[in-house]
Structure 1
Amino acid sequence: MQTTHLIATRRLLLILCALFLVACSSAGIEHYQDKQPRMVPEEFFRGPLTAHGVLKDRNGTVTRRFNADLQGSWNGGVGLLAERFLFDDGEVQFRNWQLIPTASDTPGVRTYIGRAEDVVGDAEVEVSGNAMFIRYVLEVPYKGDTIEINVDDRMYLISDRVLINESKLSKLGIPVGEIVLTIIRGEGKQLSRNAK
């Protein structure tokens, strides 16, 4: 009787673990291949844009709000996205993203290398259907020093002018925060190629 109960308990735990793993796994970029409208970075990230968002801590509490002006341009197939962020506490941050197209091994998926001043190494960029995923390591100021945070950006084109972005932030595999923002095309100030 006790052995039967133990076996049933183990089976239940295995089923719960399997359900947990399925729930934690997220759809790959290929899942969005047929979704519309089609995301084309060379078209969306061109000219002035604005971004509006919040930063949340690991508990989901909003800790900061921000607005940003962005300016996108493309030259020889390589993109530059100059960004100027203004946070609700008055802090201003700048970032210049470079997007370099690369050859993709997956049908229906376009790939790029992403580079920015505070990004460690190259960011991995994948685009398919209405989605654009970017994974990278970001250097973040922390108590007079910098720490490296893993960022998993998931962007979804809602219309030809609106992009929704969810960013999961982690350190050593442990979630530390989240960024949620909306990017609107055709609004914002003209920024120079070097935002600083």
Structure 2
Amino acid sequence: MHVLFEAKKAVSENSTIYPPLKLEEFFSGTTLARGIFEDRFGRVRNEFHGRTVGETRNSSLFLTEEFTYRDGKTDRRNWTFYKLSERDYKATCSAVIGEAAGQTDGHRFHWSYEFKLEVGTKIWTVRFDDQMFLMDEKRLLNRARAYRWGFHIGTVFLCFEKQD
């Protein structure tokens, strides 16, 4: 019983330790990012760095991501996030199939989406189960698990640092 009490206490204490995540606030302006892709066997398969530039208008966040990978390949995506309620968001991007949907819970944002991912000369349909954690006003950690045909194929680990 003591362990259960301690676990509940730790969860409730986290809500006061970390600031609440509001995507439209954190991603307004410029962030720098650095990350890796780890395959399902735990091997780092790629490294990347980049930046995002975001602008909030009305209840929408317009976010441009630019990434450069270890092999020199570059990628650019334009996202539009729509705030549906205090906690609920949906997002679109040309590589997303349909819409991405997510919800904040304190300092955490959880969302999922199907994505057209370029792998070599092919395009794979991959489902991402994506979690973001706001660590403080300037840093956000991101873990995105990737699935193909229902099988876990790897995980993206990414750290964003706000510049403005």
Give me the TM-score of the superposition, normalised by structure 2. 0.87
Deviations 1:57-116 (A, max 9, x none): 11010011000111011111110110100001000000111100114xxxxx60111111
Partner of 1:119: 96
CA distance in 2, matches of 1:163, 1:31: 20
Which has the higher Rg, Structure 1 or Structure 2? 1
Question: Which residue identity does 2:89 align to in structure 1?
Answer: Y
Give the conservation status (yes or no) of the 8 Å contact 1:125–1:135: yes
**Deviation at residue 34 of structure 1 after TM alignment:** 2.9
Distance 1:116 1:32 in 2: 35
**Secondary structure class of the residue paired with 2:42:** coil
In structure 1, what is the equivalent of residue 136 of structure 2? 159
What percentage of aligned pairs have identical amino acids?
A: 25
Cα deviation code 1:161-193 (max 9, x no counterpart): 000001100112210011001000016xxxxxx
Secondary structure in 2 aligned to 1:60? coil
2:99 corresponds to 1:150:
no
Equivalences, count: 153
Q: Which amino acid aligns with 2:145?
A: K
Q: CA RMSD in A?
A: 1.9
What residue in structure 2 maps to residue 85 of structure 1?
A: 67
- Rounded to whole Å, the distance in 1 between the matches of 2:29 and 2:12 is 29
Q: 1:168 aligns with which of 135, 145, 148?
A: 145
Q: Deviations over 1:99-157 (max 9, x none)?
A: 00114xxxxx6011111110110001111100011200110123423110000111100
Q: Counterparts in 2 of 1:36-47, with a 5 A limit?
A: 36-47=18-29
Unpaired segments ≥5 residues, structure 2:
1-10
TM-score, with length taken from structure 1: 0.73
Correspondence for 2:42: 60
